[in-house]
Structure 1
Amino acid sequence: MDKFILEKEFTEGLKLIKMNPFKDERGEYVKSYSDRELALLGINTKFLEDNYLVSKKGSIRGLHYQIKNPEAKLIRCLKGKIMDVTVDLRKDSPTYKKVFKIILKEGDNRILMVPKSFAHGFISLTDSVVFYKSSNYYFPGDQYGVSFFSNEINLDKILKQEGIKDKIITEKDRNLLKLEDQNFF
């Protein structure tokens, strides 16, 4: 039985993976990472760090990227529900500046592979816990971003659909430039 199944590839490298749990009378076993098995799905990324984020409902994180030290990420929602948002910043890509929105939630056994040169962030649609692997270290001097208030993201519509009245966002993220006002790499 395959432990990982490619559910969807949105564009080159941006992949939604389904983890295939083993269940019996004791409960459930889920392999959440295997370098060897993910390589069979074309994911040959060496990950250097693990990160664990606890967020309140309405929290907005990102959209962040690094230029000199780009990082790929492998995202999983352990608790609650998030809308993960990525933007393809690769100028030579047919999906350059395209926004991808993917729901990840507790118990769905899905992980999202975000390749290098994508802006990444998420909105906590409920109180949530997110775990992600990163292929590079965090370099504060190489931190850039895209505003969640960009027209193509349509944040107000998302918040209204999810019944979120209060946004929680850092001043730094609130002041990021909109997607339509930026050129990349």
Structure 2
Amino acid sequence: MSELRTERLTLREWRASDLGPWAAMNADPEVRAHFPEVLTRERSEASAAAFQADLARRGWGWWAVEVRATGEFIGMAGLDPVNDGMPFTGVEAGWRLQRSAWGHGYATEAGRAVLDYGFATLRLPQILAVTTATNLRSQAVMRRLGMTRDPADDFDDPEAADGPRRPSVVYRISAAAHQSNTPTPNRS
């Protein structure tokens, strides 16, 4: 299983100690504002178990995210094949952080790490990200990562009920565009 490290974050396997904060995150209406509903503790635990099973099986997926300096669990980020039934295929990058982690650049930092992994290790030609049309914070992260949106790709999520969570947007980035958007280390 791959563990990803950035300057401030570790993206790693899920631990039993993550379950309480993960469930609290998924019970927070603000964190879940762009999802159909908040999750019960049981559904949160089941999702973490599924994420860990995917990591164990294929070596990548939705990693738990912790702050390296403190070891605090702050959410999840990773890559996953697009669900069947969507009007496109590919591998999706995503992130979800607890409210106390918002506004610190963690989503962008974790997103950059998963893009690096997807392009360098998995050799993916393209990675996409999907969110509701109203999730402007997540779309801002996608733009900071160098991802672009073609309004022709916008769609109504077939898994969402009618309402404001149904209109969705797709952002994409190719391996070449990511390479040109990634800062070169200073070697002086």
TM-score, structure 2 as length reference: 0.30
Instruction: Specify which structure has the higher proportion of strand.
Output: 1
Normalization by structure 1: what TM-score?
0.30
Give the number of the structure with larger relative contact order, counting CA–CA contacts within 8 Å between residues 6 or more apart.
1
Structure number with higher helix proportion? 2
